[in-house]
Amino acid sequence: MRISTTIFLTDETIAPVRLARELEQRGFAGLYLPEHTHIPIERTTPYPAAGDVLPAEYGRTLDPLVALGQAAAVTERLGLGTGVTLIAEHDPIVLAKQIATLDHLSGGRFTLGVGFGWNREEAADHGVHWPTRRELGRDRMALMRALWAAEPTAYEGEFASVRASYAHPKPAGGAPRTLLGGAAGPKLFAQIAEYADGWLPIGGRGLTATMPVLRETWEKAGRDPADLQVVPYGVLPNPGKLAHYEELGCPEVVLQLPPGDETEVLGVLDGYAVYL
């Protein structure tokens, strides 16, 4: 099982270049970065991790694709991912170009973690109608896949369309590995089975009960059982927990790093070395 990491990189934390070099030298498999474009001060949406106080790093996150571009430039093997890209907040034509460029330049090391968001005010500033955010995300994924296709391919969707176009570079493998984040449920599992490669369950709790349900949905959609990837995300590890994920067949786990300076983050990496 591959051991990767995630962190809220901000203007106050360890820098992307320093962290990426340390991760690769220490033998970690990947670096995943979250996304928030901004956090409106007038916020009525509750913080999903409980409590009314939203940690300061949410409003200071670096742009994940820019930061991962820096990480790609100073590494050769380190996987690069988003956890997650808030797809409803993006122009899909522009996002498709950014992702394809990063995947091409990194030699196919990019994983697209996709999420539908929790902060209604943030999404509203992007013009997102909250009840349709999942359908909007599905539509944007389909449009991006049309642009990533080997031959010029048109797409006409409910929310957007694109003409058959020349769109290069292409992602190194035709399309990057795509994992959907979100809470277990029939809507999410149906979308995973329709157009993704797997699931990014935050924290990794409850997988013993939910993975069989996802596998059933996956197989009913005609997908090969061997292709499903479940990657527990933002995990605070212990030996028993990681052994359990491996027994469940998870190919990778993403450990949470604190949003700290070099000294704090490298100290945590020292402790995580026992899991490599």
- What phi and psi values does residue 237 have, to the nearest 5 degrees? -85, 155
Kindly list the distances between the CA atom of residue 105 and the CA atoms of 72, 76, 89, in Å, as whole numbers in the listed order: 8, 11, 24
In one-letter notation, the amino acid at residue 17 is V
How many other C-beta atoms can be found within 10 angstroms of the C-beta atom of residue 267?
Answer: 12
pLDDT digit string (tens) for the chain, length 276 residues:
999 999 999 999 999 999 999 999 999 999 999 999 999 998 888 888 766 789 999 999 999 999 999 999 999 999 999 999 999 999 999 999 999 999 999 999 999 999 999 999 999 999 999 999 999 999 999 999 999 999 999 999 999 999 999 999 999 988 999 999 999 999 999 999 999 999 999 988 899 999 999 999 999 999 999 999 999 999 999 999 999 999 999 999 999 999 999 999 999 999 999 999
What CA–CA distance (Å, rounded) separates 103 from 60?
Answer: 25
249: left (phi over 0), alpha (psi -120 to 50) or beta: left
**Whole-prediction pTM:** 0.97
Angle 128-134-138 from CA coordinates, rounded to 5°: 105
Kindly list the distances between the CA atom of residue 224 and the CA atoms of 158, 168, 200, 216, 219, in Å, as whole numbers in the listed order: 29, 30, 18, 11, 7
Kindly list the distances between the CA atom of residue 154 and the CA atoms of 147, 148, 172, 247, in Å, as whole numbers in the listed order: 8, 11, 21, 42
